[in-house]
Amino acid sequence: MASSSGSDPSSLLPLTPAVLHILLSLADEERHGYGIMQEIEQRTGGEFTLGSGSLYGSIKRMMASRLLAESDERPDPALDDQRRRYYRLTPFGRQVLDAELHRLQQLVRNAKVRKLLKGLAAS
């Protein structure tokens, strides 16, 4: 085996929109469920809304397939809320995100070559 984690990252592709957005949300920092929901709504300008059913269901599945892990670290107690549960990407989760982003990049490039999409110089 080449790397370290469970299985082949590309075997999980393509990701569902919910899973992709959750991975993107946790790429920079740990977040709790409700925070993930807000970040996605904010980042997509409200175009993509994640319902609580999709959110917690997706998190459960992502934990089971080792994309996410629950974090023990708590932020500044003044900013904390003891109900919160914080999640972070596992190394495997990062590999899967990377693989999916590359797949999408390839897809967009292909569309540009076929002139289905305008290509900008420094995109």
From 32-40, 58-66, 72-80, 110-118, span contacting a second copy (CB under 8 A): 110-118
Q: Binder to a second copy among 3, 7, 27, 70 (CB under 8 A)?
A: 27
From 34-42, 56-64, 70-78, 108-116, span contacting a second copy (CB under 8 A): 108-116
Which residues, in sequence order, are bridge partners of residue 88? 69
Q: Binder to a second copy among 3, 7, 10, 42 (CB under 8 A)?
A: 10
The distance of Cα 63 from the centroid of its chain, to the nearest Å, equals 12
Query: Which of DNA, a second copy, none binds 56 (CB below 5-8 Å, type-dependent)?
Result: DNA
Bond from prior residue into 91 cis (ω within 30 degrees of 0): no
For residue 9, what is the DSSP state?
G
Q: What are the residues whose beta carbons fall under 8 Å from the beta carbon of 72, sequence distance 6 or more?
A: none
